[in-house]
Amino acid sequence: MTLCQHGASQIPLKNHLARNAGAPQCKTGANRLAGSGPPLYKKTMNKKHDRDGSAKDSHYAKLRRTHRDSKRARGDLPPAPPRQGKRGPAGPLPVADDEVLLYGLHTVRAAIENPARTLIALKITQNALARLTDGLELPADLPVEIVRPKEIDDILGEDAIHQGVMLKARTLPVRKLDALQDSPLLLVLDQVTDPHNVGAILRSAVAFAAGAVITTMRHSPAESGVLAKSASGALEYIPYIQITNLAKAVDELHAMGFTTVGLDSEGPAVLEESLRGDKIALVLGAEGKGLRQKTRETVTTLARLDMPGEIKSLNVSNASAIALYAARQFLARN
């Protein structure tokens, strides 16, 4: 009796053929019909087969290419034309010192709507263009290039969450401290280095109507795509002022009538009891080291956030949001 072998199972061949009439016979790779010589059906599997169809088609295509290449080598055929439609990686986009690459839908929309922002060029995918222009008219003089997402990846890096849009623009105009004379609430950062934290702080500052975020030029993030994306558009709504000497800037704020309150986990009093006057500047230090000694000596007073739980410290962006809320409530009452 001739058998068809499926693994360890064996059934009479005539029964197997009867059950599978009209269907491909015995598709089990290396299985053979015992006693019948070569397999009734043998299928060669490889990666090329899976991608492009049958192994036979792949084999003949390879033969045709080899034959064509040999004829070109002998001069019987003209050289192959250059391939069209494929471009190499775009690579980093040249950016001047006064330029910045902004990305992300919220960030780019806010930049386009900001009259203080000088726009240079926009790279955007077709899908992102439809989303960006929903309720927004692009400036007529803004060059727009429709690209694939990979082209923006090549410029910004694959880790950048660009949502299919990238705007090349000028950095925002430099603002001075004396322009903040009429602002009742400011936020000052003492060497907070992480652009993601500073971006989140900018969002909180805009939410609580702070007049500016002031930070140092050294050991602080400059205006960048990462900072702007973390701020989710907030960079366009609030001055981000970088100064060379923080202690000197704090003294200037004192001369402008501000009470400066430095947040410190070991502060002598809670924040709500330390707020004074009608103009407040909150001063926060970097995570870990906190305020520098010179800053601690320069501010009007030190204060702590009242945290009755087991954890006595917060991420600087979270602490700034709580402090801004407390200061805004104090100013509203007074």
DSSP type of residue 240: E
- Measured CA to CA, the distance from residue 202 to residue 275 in angstroms comes to 21
Is 243 strand, coil or helix?
strand
Cα(155)–Cα(225) distance, integer angstroms: 12
Q: What is the pLDDT of residue 83?
A: 52
Q: Give the per-residue pLDDT at 29.
A: 43
Q: In the prediction, which pLDDT does 158 show?
A: 80
Which pTM does this prediction carry? 0.71
Q: Assess contact for 174 and 116: CB atoms under 8 A.
A: no
Mean pLDDT, 10 residues at a time, the chain of 334 residues = 46 48 47 46 45 56 73 67 50 75 96 96 95 93 95 89 94 91 95 94 97 93 93 95 95 96 91 95 90 95 92 90 97 91
Return the residue matching tokens 């960048």. 224
Whether the CB-CB separation of 137 and 261 falls below 8 Å is answered with: no
* pLDDT score recorded for residue 159: 84
- Residues 246, 306 contacting (CB under 8 angstroms): no
What are the domain boundaries of the chain? 3-74, 99-170, 177-333
- The tokens describing 106, both together, are 């919220």
Angle at 202 between CA 198 and CA 206, to 5 degrees: 170
Specify the pLDDT at position 92: 57
Q: CB-based contacts of 271: which residues, under 8 Å, 6+ apart?
A: 261, 263, 303, 304, 305, 306, 323, 326, 327
> In this structure, are residues 277 and 254 in contact, taking their beta carbons and an 8 Å threshold?
no
**DSSP state at residue 236:** G
Domains 99-170 and 177-333 share a fold: no
* CATH class of segment(s) 177-333: alpha beta
CATH 3.30.1330.30 fits domain 99-170? yes
Pull the structure tokens for residue 122.
């926009």
